[in-house]
Amino acid sequence: MKKNDLHLQEELLRIYRIPPSREKTAFFRSRRWRSAYEKAFLSPEAAPGISFPEFLRIQAGYIRLRNWFFSLGLFLAVLLFSAENIRAAGIDSRQFLGALSACIPYLALTTIAEGSRSARFGMDELEMHTRFSIHSVICARLFLAGALNLIVLTALIPFLCTAWGTGPAVTSGILLAPYLLTCTLDLMILRRSRNRNSITLCAAAGTGVSAGCLVLSAAGPAVYGVLSHAALPAVFLLGAAAALELRKYLRQSEESIWNYTSTV
Amino acid sequence: MELYIDRLTKQYKNKIAVDRVSLRLGSGVHGLLGANGAGKTTLMRMICGILRPDSGTVSFDGMDVSQEDYRAILGYLPQDFGYYPDFTGMDFLMYMASLKGLRKKDARYRSRELLSLVGLEGREKNRIKTYSGGMKQRLGIAQALLNRPKLLVLDEPTAGLDPKERVRFRDLIDRIGRENVVLLSTHIVSDVEQIADRILMIRDGRLIFDGSADEVRGNLEEFYLEQFDERRDDIEEKRNGEDEMHHV
């Protein structure tokens, strides 16, 4: 049937010659076409506007590719370094997890950097007056970038427990505590400094957390033992602190705190 | 169609930036005149829901400034705005259109239409960082018009525009003002004289004049300077003081 259709199409194309268009440009410039187009596509009835899920999908397109790549790159690197022959080469689980936890603050930094782009590049005033206001923009970006990170970290916890033989509480602490601590510090910085250089301060805070992770991983087994007991409570405390800071940051973003001398 | 402002007040520490301003603005072009620091930008930001007033309300046809419906009919050009560094002119408009809730197809059509309207067609694929100040300003005007706003608020819209662009802008605003509420601020008297149907003058956060250019006997510039002449004020205050003394 399909073959016959195709044959018929070819026959028709051979027999029928499409006449050259006449006054096509004039027609598309005419008021008749314009009003018909506007009625069909642009009137409020025809185009009710985008929904929030659609807005989220559009926002995902504006998140920089390097953020997605960094999360996935970290995930793949963990898989690669957990291969049996590499483990057999003599890498200690404490060293490996210490190095991994030192990378986590940068994962948090990419998410926070994405959420704070509006203020850093001076787009916040424009984004505040739109239907999907800056509140929605920040929430969407933090949600999208943060969700990917959460998926990556959640997937890594059982994998690391199996591959390196560490307990779930310690593994969760090693992965989540630096992430949440960096988020908290970065959000605190962003609430106080709303200029382009704020991200440098955030990077410095992230580097500090990263260095702290390396120092702790190099500490003796006794210290490590104490830390492993404190891992889960620390995760809960830091989670609460990060949520509080996020709430404050979002509330602050609803209204710009303007410096009187530069405006009025 | 009416923008209703009721006793709007904003204070920054020890300075009252906007002091109990009440207004009713119908369709037409309304020019907000005032010297630097008079309170124009603060008033406009409160009208756009960007700044929260200390007291007072803003509503448009019954919609409160905090509502999404209000923002859906609002177009705003800030005095100064930034952009993401990798954006082209078209990217910028498409991004703003998505925030204004326009569908992709409509957004593309409207963006092209507006780029042509503001004289940026052919430059839409260039990065904004390569644009001149005037081009950037025209792009800002285009984004304000994306959602066919019923309320258009423009803060110093003519800044950076050359004389030819000013004429084009004036015609555009004139057309939009026939069916919508347009509020534009400036400290350049000639701009507002030619564009606005109604003139609002603001000083120290207070509305000191509300009327047409004709009401000031056709010489708006002189009238404006009179209102903002501090020395004249001082002389008048002295005179008033002397009169009071004589009465005593």
Task: Tell whether the model's pLDDT for residue B87 goes beyond 80.
Answer: yes
What pLDDT does residue A38 have?
A: 66
**A144 confidence band (pLDDT: 50, 70, 90):** very high
A42 contacts in chain B (CB < 8 Å): 106, 109-110
Task: Tell whether the model's pLDDT for residue A259 goes beyond 60.
Answer: no
Top residue of B67, B79, B99 to mutate, by most chain A CBs within 10 Å, is B99
What's the rounded Cα separation, in Å, for the pair B132 and A248?
Answer: 37
Longest dimension (CA), chain A: 89
**Cβ–Cβ of B103/A50 closer than 8 Å?**
yes
What pLDDT does residue B230 have?
A: 57
What pLDDT does residue B24 have?
A: 94
Mean pLDDT of A189-212: 89
Top residue of B98, B105, B203 to mutate, by most chain A CBs within 10 Å, is B98
**Cβ–Cβ of B83/A121 closer than 8 Å?**
yes
Instruction: Quote the pTM value.
Output: 0.80
Instruction: Pick the more confident residue, A38 or B68.
Output: B68
Of A59, A256, A260, the CB nearest to B12: A260
* CA dist list (Å): B80 to A202, B14, B96, B141, B205: 26, 25, 16, 12, 21
* Lowest mean pLDDT segment, chosen from A50-54, B114-118, B154-158, B219-223: B219-223
Q: Answer yes or no: are the C-beta atoms of B49 and B78 closer than 8 Å.
A: no
Mean pLDDT of A156-161: 87
What's the rounded Cα separation, in Å, for the pair B80 and B181?
Answer: 22
Interface of B with A in 49-78 (CB under 8 A): 49-52, 68, 71-72, 74, 76, 78
**A264 confidence band (pLDDT: 50, 70, 90):** very low
Task: Tell whether the model's pLDDT for residue A47 goes beyond 60.
Answer: no
Q: Counting Cβ atoms within 10 Å, is residue B123 exposed (0-12), middle (13-18) or buried (19+)?
A: middle
Q: Answer yes or no: are the C-beta atoms of B205 and B38 closer than 8 Å.
A: yes
User: What interface predicted TM-score (ipTM) does this complex get?
Assistant: 0.84
Q: Answer yes or no: are the C-beta atoms of B195 and B184 closer than 8 Å.
A: yes
Q: What angle do CA B229, B230, B234 make, to 5 degrees?
A: 125
B45 contacts in chain A (CB < 8 Å): 125, 256, 258, 263
Q: Answer yes or no: are the C-beta atoms of A145 and A56 closer than 8 Å.
A: no
Structure tokens at A114: 């994405």
* Lowest mean pLDDT segment, chosen from A260-264, B7-11, B129-133: A260-264
Chain A, nearest residue to B109 by Cα: A42
* Lowest mean pLDDT segment, chosen from A109-113, A225-229, B19-23: A225-229
* Lowest mean pLDDT segment, chosen from A96-100, A113-117, A259-263, B63-67: A259-263
Of B37, B84, B101, the CB nearest to A50: B101
Strand B74-77 with B151-155, pairing: parallel
**Cβ–Cβ of A125/B110 closer than 8 Å?**
no
What pLDDT does residue B248 have?
A: 46
Chain A, nearest residue to B82 by Cα: A122
What's the rounded Cα separation, in Å, for the pair B137 and B134?
Answer: 5
Number of H helices, E strands in chain B: 9, 10
Q: What angle do CA B26, B29, B33 make, to 5 degrees?
A: 110
**A260 confidence band (pLDDT: 50, 70, 90):** very low
Of B17, B102, B110, the CB nearest to A264: B17
**Cβ–Cβ of B82/A122 closer than 8 Å?**
yes
User: For the segment B180-232, what is each residue's pLDDT rounded down to a tens digit?
Assistant: 999 999 877 887 888 888 999 999 899 988 888 777 766 777 777 777 665 45
Chain A, nearest residue to B43 by Cα: A264
Amino acid residing at A130: T
B34 contacts in chain A (CB < 8 Å): none
Amino acid residing at B14: N
Q: Answer yes or no: are the C-beta atoms of B1 and B181 closer than 8 Å.
A: yes
Which residues in A148-183 are b (16+ Cβ under 10 Å) and which e? bbeebbeebbeebbebbebeebbbbbbbbbbbbbbb
Kindly state the DSSP code that residue B78 receives in the 8-state scheme.
Answer: -
Say yes or no: B116 contacts chain A, CB-CB below 8 A: no
Highest mean pLDDT out of A92-96, A253-257, B146-150, B215-219: B146-150
Residue A50: which residues within 8 A CB-CB, separation 6 or more? Answer: A58, B98, B101, B102, B103
Question: What are chain B's domains?
Answer: 3-73+151-247 (3.40.50.300), 81-148 (no CATH)
Structure tokens at B161: 């525009």
Structure tokens at A97: 């997890």
Q: Answer yes or no: are the C-beta atoms of B63 and B69 closer than 8 Å.
A: yes
Chain B, nearest residue to A260 by Cα: B12
Of A55, A129, A137, the CB nearest to B50: A129
**A256 confidence band (pLDDT: 50, 70, 90):** low
Kindly state the DSSP code that residue B77 receives in the 8-state scheme.
Answer: E
Mean pLDDT of A89-114: 86
Task: Tell whether the model's pLDDT for residue B243 goes beyond 80.
Answer: no
